[in-house]
Amino acid sequence: MRHTMESTPTMTSKDPKQYPLLRNLQFSPIKEGEEQFIVLWDPTGLSKERLVLPLNYFFIVQHLDGEHSVQDIGAIYLKRFGEFLMPNKVEQLLADLDTKLFLEGERTEQAKQQALDAYRQAPSRSPQFVGRSYEADPAKLRAQINSFFVSKEGPEVKASEHKGKLIKALVAPTYEMKQAGPIYAWAYKELQDAQKPDLYVLIGTAHSGLEHPVAVTDKDFQTPLGLVKVDRAVTDRLREQIPAAFTDELAHHNEHALEFQLPFLQETLGQDQAYTIVPILTAFSADSLRDPQIREQVETFLQALKEALAATGKTYCVVVGAELAHIGMRYGDSAPPTDFSFHRCMQTDLEMLKHVENRDPEEFAKFIQKENDQRRISGFSPIYSMLRLIQAETGQVLRYDRGITDQYNSTVTYASMAFF
């Protein structure tokens, strides 16, 4: 997850030409020499563009919330920078943002509809990060996956203490495989040594956000290692009972949280085992569960999913793709993290994960609510959902690590876990 520019659509129908509204974009600071810029992009993949802005232009963009008129922004800009903002400069910027599909409005709505139609008509969900985040050639991809298991950061060669037991769930990162591959391997080593179910419920963070708390898709997933089939018995039943769970289906198209799990899953299960998946993205926060309406939507979905899984008569394993804390300027902090702030963050993460090890979803939620989610735990909703779906006797953090995401040492933390 990167820092996200949340913009809430305004309730009054203001003219979007006069009151422009920026989409839910992500941004990151970059440095070129002594100069600092901000790069903007669209996490949904609807727009493939990137826009690099000087800081004064980024100031303008931050006020495109549907509440400020172009005139208002000119006045705020004058107050902040002590100079007039030329109307043609703003018009040019807005035209550029609109062309790049960075603004809410007619052009973006049409593009969304076209993308959704194309996704629904496609025979399967095609891999979006292949060749960039992991190898495209099947033999090279297998070698890449296996290299993570034997690397010095990877899991020990000796068998898991849970060898032969039925695995209930695992948690793996969603961070770039090239860096975090060995941490994924710790979780999948447990699956390798376990009694393997034939149904896998994949739950990942929807990094671009969702309109609803969850998004299910019933597309089979294509990877270089072959086609992974969806469990139609489960998805058909969910579509019938909770059609709203499919409203945000397009979010699956460009999301890496589940895509990064599949090569590990395929390589671990091998070609001889028949298995199916249920792909789910989630995007509710610990704080949002205080809202009775959201709590009810989450409850209703998880109950329906439990019943649909039970109706198959199959044993299942929940595979979670999730990250933990996001600290630093890229995520909205005023300064880069220090060694001290990272170690404090790590201690807090491990304290928080005790509730996950204890399989206590409500205490896990309370922990994050208590700290006002100031460390931005992006994996809350998939981990919470997993804890609500499984009945396990043990939970264990296997490995914990972090990734550095920009020139300012912005940091993402993640862990691998297993439940039996």
Q: What is the pLDDT of residue 11?
A: 45
Which sequence spans correspond to the domains of the chain? 3-113, 127-419
Strand partners, 25: 5
Q: Average pLDDT in the 281-309 region?
A: 98
Q: What is the pLDDT of residue 169?
A: 98
Contact 217, 254 (CB under 8 A): no
Angle of helix 232-241 relative to helix 292-312, nearest 10 degrees, comes to 140
pLDDT, tens digit, 9 for 90 and up, residues 71-103: 999 899 989 989 888 888 888 999 999 999 999
Contacts of 244 (CB under 8 A, 6+ apart): 212, 297
Return phi, psi of residue 294, to 5°.
Answer: -70, -45
Is 127-419 in CATH node 3.10.450.50? Answer: no
Q: Average pLDDT in the 325-336 region?
A: 94
Q: Average pLDDT in the 337-361 region?
A: 97
The pLDDT mean for the chain works out to 94
pLDDT, tens digit, 9 for 90 and up, residues 172-187: 999 999 999 999 999 9
User: What is the pTM assigned to this prediction?
Assistant: 0.89
Q: Average pLDDT in the 314-340 region?
A: 96
CATH code matching the domain that covers 3-113, chosen among 1.20.120, 3.90.930, 3.40.50, 2.40.50: 3.90.930
Q: Average pLDDT in the 114-127 region?
A: 95
pLDDT at 63 over 60: yes
Q: What is the pLDDT of residue 13?
A: 62
Q: Average pLDDT in the 323-352 region?
A: 96
Q: Which long-range contacts (CB under 8 A, 24 or more apart) does 355-363 make?
A: 356/171, 356/383, 356/387, 356/395, 356/397, 356/417, 357/395, 357/396, 357/397, 357/417, 358/395, 359/387, 359/390, 359/392, 359/395, 359/419, 360/387, 361/387, 361/388
Report how far residue 319's alpha carbon sits from residue 217's, in angstroms, rounded to the nearest whole number: 16
pLDDT at 8 over 70: no
With cut-offs at 50, 70 and 90, classify the pLDDT of residue 6: very low
- Name which of 175, 171, 129 is nearest 326 in CA terms: 175
Q: What is the pLDDT of residue 14?
A: 79
